[in-house]
């Protein structure tokens, strides 16, 4: 089959969330859900074709990026990467996510690709996925049985697999309100910004003066899913961030990751640089105070 030709499928165009979840209830795993389509359409040219593709294009009320200081950030299923960049509240209160969006692929892709789609793709290289994992979040699903919320820590099950059930539609992502003293940063290594990352890192620190009272550290491209570095988080908690502590962090990271060789890098290179990139991201976050 030509890589330029899509296989045959039936296109479903629901007009509401209720209609969409009804279709998912009827057809289950025979349906592929499409929002932006930047991953779905590419995958359909090289993998077995779904019988049905359900587009969210005609469903109103899913393209929001809304911030409330007491409640946090709400991102709808159709909100694009470009929508994040256009929102000043994201840049101010969630700088690591804004930066991940800023260097996400190309302008054309940012205008089409959705934030929730980046999570649902369940790729360990997802830039927004990495940033969101470090911040912490809740994914909201809707089915005919009602609403279900899944913590981001329980969202990715394995490569390409999430906690979404076949009869559920991911309708919203909820990020917590900003915490006083929080500092964040995002970094990635890649050949060019247009390309997928060979390694990415996001940090979210809670600081009291120079002391770290809590940390979430996320890394991508070093495991089958985005990874939390929980042992390294424990090294930071309750300690002043010093040059000596940062060196311990550099040395601790290789034991927590399991990178592979692929087209963009080698496992050995990722293992050697992962701790250094994390150290630099922590330094970036501290300077952002």
Is 251 found in the same domain as 195? yes
Does some domain include residue 198?
yes
Q: Note whether 162 and 192 are same-domain residues.
A: no
Total number of domains constituting the chain: 3
Do residues 89 and 75 touch, judged by C-beta distance below 8 A? no
Among 143, 175, 207, which residue terminates a domain? 175
Long-range CB pairs of 116-119, under 8 A, 24+ apart, other chains included: 116/35, 116/75, 116/76, 116/77, 116/79, 116/170, 116/172, 116/173, 117/35, 117/36, 117/38, 117/39, 117/40, 118/81, 119/152, 119/155, 119/162, 119/170, 119/173
- 13, 64, 71, 88, 280 from 61: Cα distances, Å: 15, 7, 19, 20, 39
* pLDDT of the residue at 58: 98
Is the domain of 281 the same as that of 213?
A: yes
Q: Are residues 152 and 206 in the same domain?
A: no
Q: What is the CATH number of the domain that holds 236?
A: 3.30.390.50
Predicted TM-score (pTM) of the model is 0.95
Percent of the chain as helix, strand, coil, to the nearest 5: 35, 25, 40
Kind plus residue range of the DSSP H or E element containing 49: none
In a domain, 1, yes or no: no
Task: Let me know if residue 4 belongs to a domain.
Answer: no
Same domain, 164 and 188: no
For residue 278, being part of any structural domain is answered with yes
CATH code: domain of residue 47? 3.30.43.10
pLDDT tens readout for residues 94-153: 999 999 999 998 999 999 999 999 999 999 999 999 999 999 999 999 999 999 999 999
**281 and 187 belong to one structural domain:** yes
Q: What's residue 3's pLDDT? A: 61
pLDDT at 4: 67
| Strand order from edge to edge, sheet including 146-151 | 65-68, 72-76, 169-175, 138-143, 146-151
Residue 166 lies in a domain: yes
Percent of the chain with pLDDT over 70: 98
- Does the pLDDT of residue 230 top 60, yes or no? yes
2: in domain: no
pLDDT above 60: residue 52: yes
From 175, 192, 224, the end of a domain falls on: 175
Picking from 185, 179, 247, 246, the residue whose alpha carbon sits closest to that of residue 207 is 179
In a domain? residue 248: yes
Confidence of residue 289 (pLDDT cuts 50, 70, 90): low
Give CA–CA dist 18/97, Å, rounded. Answer: 30
Q: Is residue 271 part of a domain?
A: yes
Q: What is the pLDDT of residue 1?
A: 42
**Domain match, 170 and 188 both:** no
188 and 263 together in one domain? yes
Higher-confidence position of 20 and 1: 20
Whether residue 196 is found in the same domain as residue 137: no
Query: In this predicted model, what pLDDT tens digit does every residue of 176-215 receive, in sequence order?
Result: 999 988 999 999 999 877 788 999 999 999 999 989 999 9
Which DSSP string do the residues of 175-235 spell out, in sequence order?
EPPPPTTEEEEEEEE-SSTTSPPSEEEEEEEEEETTEEEEEEEEEESSSSS-EE-HHHHHH
More confident residue, 59 or 289: 59
Q: What is the CATH number of the domain that holds 83?
A: 3.30.465.10
The arithmetic mean of pLDDT across residues 17-30, rounded, is 97
Among candidate residues 140, 175, 210, the one where a domain is terminated: 175
159 and 261 assigned to the same domain: no
Domain that holds residue 34: 10-55
Q: What is the mean pLDDT of the chain?
A: 95
Q: 48 and 85 share a domain?
A: no
In this structure, the answer to whether residues 237 and 160 fall within a common structural domain is no
CB atoms within 10 A of CB 131: 32
């Amino acid at each position: 089959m030509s890589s330029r030709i899509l296989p045959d499928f039936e296109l479903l165009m629901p007009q509401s969330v209720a209609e969409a979840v009804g279709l998912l209830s009827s057809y289950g795993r025979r349906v592929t859900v499409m929002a932006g389509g930047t991953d779905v359409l590419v995958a359909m040219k090289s993998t077995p074709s779904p019988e049905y593709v359900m587009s969210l294009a005609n469903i109103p009320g899913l393209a929001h990026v809304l911030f409330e200081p007491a409640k946090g950030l709400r991102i709808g299923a159709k909100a694009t990467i470009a929508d994040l960049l256009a929102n000043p509240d994201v840049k101010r209160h969630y700088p690591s996510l804004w930066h991940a969006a800023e260097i996400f692929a190309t302008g054309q892709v940012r205008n089409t690709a959705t934030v929730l789609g980046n999570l649902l793709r369940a790729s360990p290289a997802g830039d927004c996925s990495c940033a969101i994992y470090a911040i912490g979040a809740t994914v909201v699903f809707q089915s005919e049985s009602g609403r279900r919320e899944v913590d981001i820590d329980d969202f990715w099950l394995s490569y390409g697999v999430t906690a979404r059930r076949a009869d559920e539609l991911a309708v919203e992502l909820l990020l917590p309100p900003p915490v006083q003293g929080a500092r964040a940063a995002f970094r990635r290594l890649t050949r060019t910004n247009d390309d997928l990352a060979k390694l990415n890192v996001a940090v979210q620190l809670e600081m009291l003066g120079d002391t770290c009272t809590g940390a979430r550290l996320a890394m991508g491209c070093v495991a089958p899913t985005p990874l939390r570095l929980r042992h390294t988080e424990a090294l930071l908690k309750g300690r002043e961030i010093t040059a000596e502590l940062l060196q311990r962090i550099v040395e601790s990271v290789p034991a927590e990751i399991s990178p592979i060789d692929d087209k963009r890098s080698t496992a050995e290179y990722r293992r050697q640089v992962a701790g250094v990139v994390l150290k630099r991201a922590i330094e970036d976050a501290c300077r952002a105070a």
